[in-house]
Structure 1
């Protein structure tokens, strides 16, 4: 699991679209968890979770350190063309980095690309 917030958002979206009754949500969530998250879920004491909100809070607190941190959009200015890097390779790397940074305006993308090519 990379980002617990993303996992929960995706899970809630699927559960809502699928029309699951709330008791199924707990069982279905358990099926989506892997490794440490699954072990954590299995070890929860009976009766500790009284609602879906309780589970979300406990899950978020326990796995919150794994949350993806947003990158500053200005980092796109640091994606420069390397010595001996073909223009095609640079374009590919620039696009990948830009997508990973996210939230960059089109004007900033164009400016950074022109400056760094």
Structure 2
């Protein structure tokens, strides 16, 4: 058996046959930890289970930063649920105090020359740290921070967008923006591979002006069999 956070006394207890695991209770660190503990205790009381089963069932309800915290506990340290709940409350209460207010999103603006794709990634990361963020506030803050005028103008066509809708619409504008950037970059590159123009005729004319043989005026060379004017020697 691999390393485990649970004490052997917890692992030795079997889960009741008809125990309903609390998989529908999800805590990711953005809600009040005391409310989650109270709801979990009520659920376990309804199931009629003891301390060891509570200890094993509790991490099933955790997600995100909360489960990361639980997995960071020392091996074999999870022995009593009272110890787990106390450590959970202390850790997550501190994190809750750091949760940001929706007004913080107004400070997330697109930087000069920053690709729209990168700006949306930063905006989404910041949104995850805000508890109770509504779609109306998120779309308002996003529109306020956009430098992409076409995209920003499109977002004003509806009073409220869900973040999922914004992500879907954003793909079109991001693709157009990236194509334009590639085209602009190609135009800025020196034309090293362009075919060189033939300048032989010009060189010939320049040579003639310098006293050299002039360019033949005929477009086609004279044929060897073409008729010639007879000379006096050929008539005699």
The normalised TM-score by structure 2 is 0.32
Distance change >3 Å, CA 38–CA 64, structure 1 → 2: farther
User: In the alignment, which residue of structure 2 is the partner of 1:82?
Assistant: 111
Match of 2:195 in 1: none
For 1:77 and 1:93, the matched residues in 2 are separated by 12
Aligned counterpart, 1:103: 132
Distance in 2 (CA, whole Å) between partners of 1:65 and 1:95 is: 25
Moved over 3 A (4+): 29-42
Give the CA deviation at 1:29.
6.9
Which of the pair is proportionally richer in helix? 1
User: Within 2, Cα distance between the matches of 1:101 and 1:80?
Assistant: 16
CA distance in 2, matches of 1:113, 1:103: 16
CA contact (8 A) 2:78 2:84 kept: no
RMSD: 4.0
The one of 49, 74, 86 aligned to 1:59: 86
Contact 1:76–1:112 under 8 Å retained in 2 = yes
Identify if the C-alpha distance between structure 1 residues 111 and 59 changes in structure 2 by more than 3 Å, giving closer, same or farther: same
Alignment pair present for 1:21 and 2:76: no
* Structure 1: runs of 5+ lacking an equivalent: 45-51
Say if 1:79 and 1:116, in contact at 8 Å, map to a contact too: yes
Highest Rg: 1 or 2?
Answer: 2
1:72 aligns to 2:72 (yes or no): no
Distance in structure 2 (CA, Å) of the matches to 1:98 and 1:114: 14
The residue that corresponds to 2:210 in the other structure is: none
Question: Which sections of structure 2, spanning at least 5 residues, go unmatched?
Answer: 1-27, 61-69, 147-236
The normalised TM-score by structure 1 is 0.55
Q: Deviations over 1:16-48 (max 9, x none)?
A: 4xx472142365379995555667656x8xxxx
What is the deviation of 1:85?
1.3
Give the Cα–Cα distance (whole angstroms) in 1 for the partners of residues 116 and 49 of structure 2: 53
Partner Cα distance (1:106, 1:90) in 2: 18
Q: How many residues align?
A: 100
Greater RCO between the two (CA within 8 Å, min separation 6)? 1
Q: CA deviation at 1:99?
A: 2.0
